[in-house]
């Protein structure tokens, strides 16, 4: 305890060490260790059921881990309750983009800012998200439940931004969206990161989109991290090309081996 901690800027914003989470007897993630550095986009790639959502739910306090520790901005948030973790500056955009369907788009955004007291800052951020997603400005007074899936995803991301968080957890924004809409949303996520310096942990099944958007990546298979590297290097790895990007047309026996083993879209 007598040691001086390193300056905050040298520390990762988020640090998981040997985290294990279960649903009853089912161990969904095992020994997961990962770090997210400030102002970067980190990604966890994994197929359906790999444990991506479980990692995010464990970070945001929806699930308590059986083992391991989670530090956020140098403080333990392990097994703290979700409301406390939100107040520390962590926003979770869950899978399936949960918006308040009966509230207007504008009121959904205002709800995102409920922990804030800087009215001017809130007004500026509403303007900022309307600039990123002009369709939300057009639909500002409409019920959020009437938006398309893509627009609801935009709103869910925008609502997270409205909390002015230090870290956004983004769960499969591509789910159920067309490739074109997915590309548009990813472009804006990258702009938000570059222009506002927002730190993001993105989990995705769409490895192609995620590896192009993120700086650093982890590969998750059946609850374990099996590989990690910069996304630039991951994109060049043969295993990744073969299994996760589907670029390798033929294996040694002249067949598309990746298709048999993996279940990527």
Q: Contact positions toward Mg ion, by CB under 5 A?
A: 52-53, 95
Burial class (CB within 10 angstroms; exposed 0-12, middle 13-18, buried 19+) of 178: exposed
28 binds, among ligand ADP, Mg ion, none (CB under 5 to 8 A by kind): ligand ADP
- Between residue 78 and residue 97, which ones bind ligand ADP under the rule CB under 6 A? none
Shortest spacing between CB 77 and Mg ion, in angstroms: 21
Binding mask 40-79 for ligand ADP (x = CB under 6 A): ------x-xxxxxxx-------------------------
> Which positions from 5 through 24 interact with ligand ADP, judged by CB under 6 A?
23
Judged by CB, which is closer to ligand ADP: 108, or 153?
153
Closest CA to 41 of 249, 255, 211: 211
From CA 181, how far away is CA 168, in angstroms rounded?
20
Nearer to ligand ADP, 46 or 173 (CB): 46
Burial 93-103 (b: 16+ CB within 10 A, else e): bbbebebeeee
Comparison of 52 and 92: residue with beta carbon closer to ligand ADP? 52
Q: Which residues of 118-134 are buried (b: 16+ CB within 10 A; e: fewer)?
A: eeeebeebbebbbebbe
Q: How far is the CB of 199 from Mg ion (least distance, A)?
A: 21
Q: Which two tokens stand for residue 207?
A: 């490895």
Nearer to ligand ADP among residue 20 and residue 166 (C-beta) = 20
88 Cβ contact list (under 8 Å, min separation 6):
72, 73, 75, 77, 166
Interface with ligand ADP by CB under 6 A: which residues?
23, 26, 28, 46, 48-54
């Amino acid at each position: 305890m007598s040691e001086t901690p390193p300056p905050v800027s040298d520390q990762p914003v988020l640090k998981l060490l040997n985290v294990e989470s279960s649903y009853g007897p089912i161990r969904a993630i095992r020994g997961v260790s990962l770090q997210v550095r400030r102002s970067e986009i980190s990604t966890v790639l994994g197929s359906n059921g790999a444990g991506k959502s479980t990692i995010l739910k464990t970070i945001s306090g929806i699930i308590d881990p059986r083992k391991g520790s989670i530090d956020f901005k140098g403080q333990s948030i392990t097994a703290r309750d979700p409301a406390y973790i939100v107040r520390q500056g962590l926003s979770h955009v869950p899978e399936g983009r949960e918006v308040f369907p009966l509230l207007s788009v504008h009121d959904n955004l205002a709800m995102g800012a409920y922990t804030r007291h800087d009215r001017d800052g809130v007004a500026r951020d509403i303007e900022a998200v309307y600039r990123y997603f002009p369709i939300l400005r057009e639909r500002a007074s409409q019920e959020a439940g009437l938006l398309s899936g893509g627009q609801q995803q935009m709103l869910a991301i925008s609502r997270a931004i409205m909390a002015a968080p230090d870290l956004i957890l983004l769960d499969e924004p591509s789910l159920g969206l067309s490739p074109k809409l997915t590309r548009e949303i990813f472009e804006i996520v990258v702009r938000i990161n570059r222009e506002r310096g927002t730190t993001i942990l993105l989990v995705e099944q769409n490895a192609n989109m995620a590896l192009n958007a993120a700086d650093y990546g982890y590969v998750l298979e059946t609850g374990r991290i099996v590989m990690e590297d910069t996304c630039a290097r991951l994109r060049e790895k043969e295993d990744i090309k073969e299994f996760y990007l589907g670029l390798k047309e033929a294996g040694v026996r002249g067949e598309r081996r990746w298709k048999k083993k993996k279940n990527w879209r």
